[in-house]
């Protein structure tokens, strides 16, 4: 049974970068259920964003969908500004926006390398940086990495692994920089999860798991819920892997 933080988090505001599908959409729903007013970004799927908005509003709070590409620094700044202007200062920031791609290291075009670095690393850094002036004391920052930082898993995943490994160092530095305001910064590393990103590969991924299944987006969202709750206040600069033992 999900534990609600609605009472503790009354009138609190969360912003989710990359919230229109998969783990991000589940995070929006869980944060709304926990009592947050929630803003989230999407890139192109207005239909998905509208569905997420409608579902999240069912929890009684305010919900704001913002079209913003995390490859664009101006769009990141604008998303934060719109959220603060319409909902108020940020109590939680979840940076989930990311892309998967790459290829064998000998043949990755520099344009593909730049695309993944721009969204998966630079975009995460800039999202946190843009939010810093608007984070309330005791705010929570959560980034979404991947268990590929521990185990590559497939040939051609080196660039993706590079970008997700970078988040481990980023949260450590950010956690120190923001500790004087009692703001915590933590990183979640999901393993194979039942999202459209893994469509067509779920059976194969499950076969390689000790639990013989993949995770659900709601299970990842439950960890996000804890890391954005008052109960996680003594936990910062940490990377937590949730992958059903995939990397044991």
Q: pLDDT tens digits for 26-80?
A: 999 999 999 999 999 999 889 999 999 999 999 999 999 999 999 999 999 999 9
Please give the Cα distance from 81 to 178 (Å, whole number). Answer: 20
Q: Which residues contact 49 (CB under 8 A, 6 or more apart)?
A: 19, 20, 40, 42, 65, 67
Average pLDDT (214-230) is: 96
Catalytic positions, written as ranges:
160
4 within some domain: no
194 within some domain: yes
8 Å CB contact between 121 and 143: no
Tell me the average pLDDT of the chain. 92
Q: Cα-flanking dihedrals φ and ψ of residue 162, to 5°?
A: -55, -50
171 within some domain: yes
SS3 46: helix
What's the pLDDT band for 103 if we cut at 50, 70, 90?
confident
CATH code: domain of residue 194 = 3.40.50.720
pLDDT of residue 3 exceeding 50: no
Number of structural domains in the chain: 1
7 within some domain: no
| Interval 188-213: pLDDT, tens | 999 988 877 766 778 888 888 899 99
Residue range of the domain that includes 110: 12-242
What's the pLDDT band for 6 if we cut at 50, 70, 90?
very low
Kindly state the DSSP code that residue 18 receives in the 8-state scheme: S
SS3 240: strand
Determine the pLDDT at residue 2.
Answer: 40
3 within some domain: no
pTM beyond 0.85: the answer is yes
> Which H or E run includes 126?
helix 123-131
> Left (φ > 0), alpha (ψ -120 to 50) or beta: where does 113 sit?
alpha
């Amino acid at each position: 049974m999900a534990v609600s933080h609605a009472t503790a988090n009354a009138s609190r505001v969360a912003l989710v970068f990359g919230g229109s599908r998969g783990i991000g959409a589940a995070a929006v729903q869980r944060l709304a259920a926990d009592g947050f007013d929630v803003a989230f970004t999407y890139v192109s799927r207005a239909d998905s964003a509208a569905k997420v908005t409608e579902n999240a509003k069912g929890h009684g709070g305010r919900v704001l969908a913002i079209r913003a590409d995390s490859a664009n620094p101006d769009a990141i700044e604008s998303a934060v500004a719109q959220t603060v202007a319409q909902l108020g200062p940020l109590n939680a920031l979840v940076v989930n926006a990311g892309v998967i791609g790459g290829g064998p290291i000998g043949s990755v075009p520099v344009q593909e390398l730049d695309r993944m670095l721009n969204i998966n690393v630079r975009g995460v850094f800039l999202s946190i940086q843009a939010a810093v002036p608007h984070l309330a004391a005791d705010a929570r920052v959560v980034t979404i990495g991947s268990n590929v930082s521990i185990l590559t898993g497939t040939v051609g995943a080196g660039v993706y692994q590079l970008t997700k490994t970078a988040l481990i160092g980023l949260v450590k530095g950010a956690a120190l920089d923001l500790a004087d305001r009692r703001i915590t910064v933590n990183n979640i590393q999901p393993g194979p999860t039942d999202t459209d990103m893994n469509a067509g590969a779920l059976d194969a991924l499950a076969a390689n798991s000790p639990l013989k299944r993949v995770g659900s987006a709601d299970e990842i969202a439950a960890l996000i819920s804890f890391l954005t709750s008052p109960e996680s206040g003594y936990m910062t600069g940490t990377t937590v892997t949730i992958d059903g033992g995939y990397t044991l």
